[in-house]
């Protein structure tokens, strides 16, 4: 069964993570996400990104990823970031519907959308610093564009999770809905945006994404290598293994 499935609603692709309760980000999920994004880009007027009722996504699938050798993990991490960049640069309107918690890599995926709608009580956040790794370079740039430098610095330095109702105060979340209506609200938002001229929207979005796309193209090899160096450093392995026991 695919780890990402697509439901079509009047030209809007509802792309749903489908990897158990936690929707942990595994190599298989990344492969299926990239394939789904290609279909959505080709066939849909807009996209809503959704997960489950308990977790939108719990983040990287640590039990699967920790045993990987360096080359295999580096390949996974590059593909994960490429999929995130593809999501961010999709030439159609996108909204992430966060009906469940979106933590760590789950927040990273949510950052790739144009908008984030969430249930007030659900948690978001980037706890990478507590695990001994940096927030990935691309995700860090997306967060600073969305929430501003001061809020992004507080989030990435502190590594704490926050309720969506609090995240809405500094712009990480764009609108709050009861959990059962988050997806409907996101579909309505994307449908309205998709009523504009596709060419006009595409060119407008290019202006928003081009600086980050250019910086990532220029620096991603060194930045991703630095993340992998941290991941495989001796002090970090026990922290990752302890976190994996929560899955």
- At 181 the pLDDT is 98
Tokens of 210: 């081009």
Low-confidence ranges of the chain (pLDDT < 50): none
List the structure tokens of 148: 């501003």
CA–CA distances in Å: residue 40 to residues 115, 138, 209: 17, 22, 18
Give the per-residue pLDDT at 136. Answer: 98
Pick the CATH number of 4-194 from 3.30.930.10, 3.90.226.10, 1.20.1250.20, 1.20.120.530: 3.90.226.10
Q: What is d(CA 146, CA 10) in angstroms, rounded to the nearest whole number?
A: 29
Residue with tokens 């501003």: 148
pLDDT in tens, 146-197: 999 999 999 999 999 999 999 999 999 999 999 999 999 999 999 999 999 9
Query: Going by C-beta distance under 8 Å and a sequence separation of 6 or more, which residues neighbour residue 60?
Result: 24, 25, 104, 105
Q: According to the model, what pLDDT value does residue 39 have?
A: 97
In this predicted structure, what is the pLDDT of residue 27? 98
Please state, in angstroms and rounded to a whole number, the distance separating the CA atoms of residues 91 and 64: 32
Q: To which H or E segment does residue 98 belong?
A: strand 94-98
Rounded distance, CA 150 to CA 227, Å? 22
Among 141, 165, 162, which Cα is nearest to 152's? Answer: 141
**Residue (of 176, 178, 120, 108) closest to 146 by Cα position:** 108
**Does residue 247 contact residue 22 with C-beta atoms inside 8 Å?**
yes
User: What pLDDT score does 1 carry?
Assistant: 86
């Amino acid at each position: 069964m695919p780890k990402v499935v697509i439901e079509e609603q009047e030209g809007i692709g509802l792309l749903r993570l489908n990897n158990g309760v936690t929707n942990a980000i595994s190599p298989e999920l990344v492969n299926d996400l990239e394939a789904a994004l290609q279909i959505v880009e080709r066939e849909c007027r807009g996209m809503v990104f959704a997960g489950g009722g308990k977790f939108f996504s719990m983040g990287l699938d640590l039990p699967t990823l920790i045993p990987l050798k360096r080359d295999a993990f580096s390949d996974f991490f590059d593909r994960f970031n490429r999929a995130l960049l593809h999501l961010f640069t999709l030439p159609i309107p996108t909204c992430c519907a966060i009906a469940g918690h979106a933590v760590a890599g789950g927040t990273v995926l949510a950052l790739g959308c144009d908008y984030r709608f969430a249930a007030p009580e659900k948690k978001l956040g980037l706890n990478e610093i507590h695990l001994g790794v940096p927030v990935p370079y691309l995700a860090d740039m997306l967060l600073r564009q969305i929430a501003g430098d001061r809020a992004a610095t507080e989030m990435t330095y502190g590594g704490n999770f926050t309720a969506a109702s609090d995240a809405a105060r500094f712009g990480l979340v764009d609108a709050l809905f009861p959990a059962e209506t988050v997806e409907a609200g996101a579909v309505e938002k994307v449908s309205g945006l998709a009523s504009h001229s596709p060419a006009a929207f595409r060119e407008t979005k290019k202006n928003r994404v081009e600086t980050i796309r250019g910086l990532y193209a220029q620096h991603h090899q060194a930045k991703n290598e630095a993340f992998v160096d941290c991941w495989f450093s001796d002090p970090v392995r026990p922290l990752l293994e302890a976190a994996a026991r929560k899955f």
